[in-house]
């Protein structure tokens, strides 16, 4: 159930309000937005991977709380920028597609952030 501001209402349990999954070989990454008992959003980043001969699943998680998300995202974008500027393992076409995708995300983010100058230069 959503409140007047469009946020998910808390009904006694932690609720997942948005989720994204990335499969990468034996690993799967999950990025989940959840809401807590105070009706605050937080990000959970999980890695699940198969290990050993019996394919046992190992899971690691970190949580980023709403008050820290802007600082976290700023550092994350710095890392992505460094990666794009210094990548030697991606073919030029792959790098250009990655840059286009990254710029698309920034375009969606720009009106929502207090940092409207967010941009990433085109990779040459």
Question: Going from the N-terminus, what domains does the chain have, and what CATH number goes with each?
Answer: 1-65 (3.10.450.700)
Q: What predicted TM-score, i.e. pTM, was given to this entire model?
A: 0.66
Tokens of 65: 């709380």
- Tell whether the torsion through CA atoms of 8, 9, 11 and 14 is positive or negative: positive
Quickly state the pLDDT bin for 120 (edges 50, 70, 90).
Answer: very low
Q: DSSP for 11-35?
A: -SS-EEEEEEEEEETTEEEEEEEEE
Which tens digits make up the pLDDT trace of 19-39? Answer: 999 999 889 999 999 998 888
In sequence order, what are the residues at sequence separation of 6 or more whose Cβ sits closer than 8 angstroms to the Cβ of residue 45?
29, 30, 31, 61, 62, 63, 64
Tokens of 5: 């501001």
Which tens digits make up the pLDDT trace of 42-100? Answer: 999 999 998 888 888 899 999 999 889 888 888 888 888 787 778 777 777 777 787 78
């Amino acid at each position: 159930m959503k409140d007047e501001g469009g946020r998910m209402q808390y009904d006694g349990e932690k609720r997942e309000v948005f989720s994204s999954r990335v499969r990468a070989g034996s690993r799967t990454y999950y990025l989940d937005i959840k809401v807590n008992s105070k009706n605050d959003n937080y990000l959970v980043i999980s890695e699940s991977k198969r290990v050993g001969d019996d394919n046992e699943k190992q899971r690691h998680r970190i949580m980023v709380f709403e008050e820290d998300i802007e600082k976290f995202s700023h550092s994350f974008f710095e890392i992505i920028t460094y990666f794009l500027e210094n990548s030697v393992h991606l073919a030029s076409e792959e790098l250009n597609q990655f840059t286009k995708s990254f710029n698309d995300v920034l375009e969606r983010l720009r009106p929502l952030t207090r940092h409207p100058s967010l941009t990433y230069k085109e990779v040459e």
